[in-house]
Amino acid sequence: MSSGYIVYYYRTSTGDNPVSKFLNSLSERQQVKVVRMFQYLTEYGLMAILPHTKKLSGTPLWEMRILGKDSVRIIYVVPMQQSVLILHAFIKKSQKTPLKELRIALKRYEEWRSRK
């Protein structure tokens, strides 16, 4: 049995993929870091990205940290065993995760759950 996870992207009810659009807007260097993190996740599981991820307290959300010139944050949930749903991604400019970004991720998670 593989220890890796399947990575899913949140899609709107009309099929748009806002996370993918954001990731495609990043510099090539940032994209390489994100792809590498997702590769570790799919090949080796959540333990492989542990130093780069943390639980967002009081929510079902997790935050993946991609460091560099700009700090990219990827918010995700683990809705089922061996799977990760990427809900939102943004450039983090302050120490604390902005409430606006958390609200977007939570809203997308609720929408996704209501479609299941």
* Domain map (residue ranges) of the chain: 6-111
- 13, 39, 64, 85 from 67: Cα distances, Å: 31, 16, 10, 21
Specify the pLDDT at position 45. 86
CATH 3.30.2310.20 fits 6-111, yes or no: yes
Which residue in 108, 19, 116, 22 sits closest to 61, CA to CA? 108
Q: Can you give the pLDDT of all 116 residues of the chain as single tens digits?
A: 457 899 999 999 899 999 999 999 999 999 999 999 999 999 988 888 888 999 998 999 999 999 888 899 999 999 888 899 999 999 988 888 899 999 999 999 999 999 87
Tell me the sheet residues that pair with 7.
84
